[in-house]
Amino acid sequence: MRKLFMSLMAGLSFCSVYAQSADSAWIKKISDEILRNGKAYENLRHLTKQIGARLAGSSGMVKAENWGLEVMKKSGADQAWLQECMVPHWVRGGTDYAQATYTVPANKTKNMIPQQKGLDVVALGNSNGSGPKGVTAQVLLVNSFDELEAKKDQVKGKIVFYNYRFNDTYVSTFNAYRDAGQYRGQGPSRAAKYGAKAVIVRSMSHAVDNNPHTGATRYDSAFEKIPAVAIGLRDADWLSEQLQKTDVNVTLKTYGKFLPDTIGHNVIGELKGSEFPDQIITVGGHLDSWDNCEGAHDDGAGCVQTMEILRAFKALGYTPKRTIRFVLFANEENGLRGGAKYAEVAAAKGEKHILAIESDAGGFTPRALGFTGSDEQYVKFLSWKELIAPYGCTELVKGGGGADIGPLNRTLKTPMASLNPDTQRYFDIHHARSDVFEAVNKRELELGAVNMAALIYLVDKYGL
């Protein structure tokens, strides 16, 4: 009996080694196809240079959706379609403007002479504009919400300047972003509570340039919806230093407003499963970008990586066991309507989604894959580390997902994964005019697609 048991164990071990060898060979084929024949970089060039900015509700959004549908079809989707959803339609409405007025001592006299300096600013997304007359007021410097509370009696009639810096000690810059992001999201309403006329927010970035970074703000309906802008980091430092020496008045002019909601779409391509077609794996990124940039890293990269995985699977003649959906989500930046609609439809149809993976952290060098699911699923996820690690993702870590696939997790309890590239340069360009095609490296972009494709292949073959 013992000999039979040992024989069976040896057979299982041999089968395991053989399976791993076969999986390794298939992942190498996927990698070779993407690195030799990949279309992601040229697709990104078209998206950024021929279409450009594509904020929800804009003409760029419509062009991008139509383009994405055609690329899905050309990449070999068994079927491709547009999934309608209503999206918000915020418009900037004009060129944002800020000018500081301050005084400096005249040479060799005690007289003060007025000076002016233009400030590089961009209105926060979803913010209300000042209108053409603008807002002119003295600036009040606060470095934190605690300081705002301490100075609340000085706020009325002022422009509050939140000079909260990115925390340099966080090695993962996403932690710094989450920490500072509250000032962009909550700052306008918290200042309005005490009578502020407008706010200026230090850009959410470690950058050393002066490009201001936009992003969505959220108004509290209990308080006035005051104008809000982000300021470039060099100008933020200048303004902070100047306010240590003298009073500074700033004139702000912004024109942002909401138009009625309009029709947008998730762009979906699908490879139908041959054995378990009712089990769905979703991979995607978000197609919209802010209006002040090309959105190359955020999130053009995730979109073209998604479609590249589809193209590579078809080019290799791969027939999935499970249905794989490739989704370009609508309206992540200022509403998340696309991700919500996708989950809503999935729930209404009683679909079984076994994994959703998102790329929305830029097209930089892949470092890790994150995973959110049960402990048992995480153990299985970890078992694939040796197969994936040679392509860049040397760490498989707990905690993964994305804004667009979050609704699937909340609605259907779908396990989530994320591509986690190197984070150090992402917030240099995030939501800024510097997020352009030229900032993306071809090899890094392609390797991101390779790592996601490897994970999808393994989940398709073995399930979770």
Q: What is the mean pLDDT of residues 169-189?
A: 97
Residue-wise over 417-435: b if at least 16 C-beta within 10 A, else e? bbbbbbbebbbbbbbbbbb
The answer to whether residue 10 scores a pLDDT higher than 60 is: no
Average pLDDT, the chain: 95
Given this model, what pLDDT does residue 107 score?
67
Spans of all domains in the chain:
26-88+261-462, 97-257
pLDDT band, very low/low/confident/very high, at 5 (cuts 50, 70, 90): very low
> Using CA atoms, how far apart are residues 67 and 47, in angstroms rounded to an integer?
8
- For 97-257, CATH gives 3.50.30.30
pLDDT band at 14 (very low <50, low <70, confident <90, very high): very low
Q: How confident is the model at residue 3 (pLDDT cuts 50, 70, 90)?
A: low
**Which residue type sits at 425?**
R
Mean pLDDT of 405-410: 98
Contacts of 364 (CB under 8 A, 6+ apart): 297, 421, 422, 423, 425, 426, 441, 444, 448
- Output the pLDDT for position 307: 98
DSSP helix, strand, coil percent of the chain (3-state; round to 5): 40, 25, 35
pTM for the complete prediction?
0.94
Q: For residue 234, count CB atoms less than 10 angstroms from its CB and return exposed for 0-12, middle for 13-18, buried for 19 or more.
A: middle
pLDDT in tens, 15-32: 456 578 999 999 999 999
Specify the DSSP element, H or E, that contains 386.
helix 385-388
Contact 194, 155 (CB under 8 A): yes
Residue 92 pLDDT > 60: yes
CA 163 from centre of chain: 23
* pLDDT band with cut points at 50, 70 and 90 for residue 2: low
pLDDT value of position 112: 76
CATH of 26-88+261-462, picked from 3.40.50.720, 3.40.630.10, 3.30.1330.120, 3.30.499.10, is 3.40.630.10
pLDDT in tens, 212-241: 999 999 999 999 999 999 999 999 999 999
Cα angle value 260/297/39 (rounded, 5°): 105
Based on its alpha-carbon atoms, the radius of gyration of the chain, rounded to whole angstroms, reads 25
Q: Residue 104: its pLDDT value, please?
A: 80
pLDDT (tens digit, 9 = 90+) per residue, 42-62?
999 999 999 999 999 999 999
CB neighbourhood size of 146 (10 A): 9
Report whether 56 contacts 126 (CB < 8 A). Answer: no
Report yes or no: 430 and 213 within 8 Å, Cβ to Cβ: yes
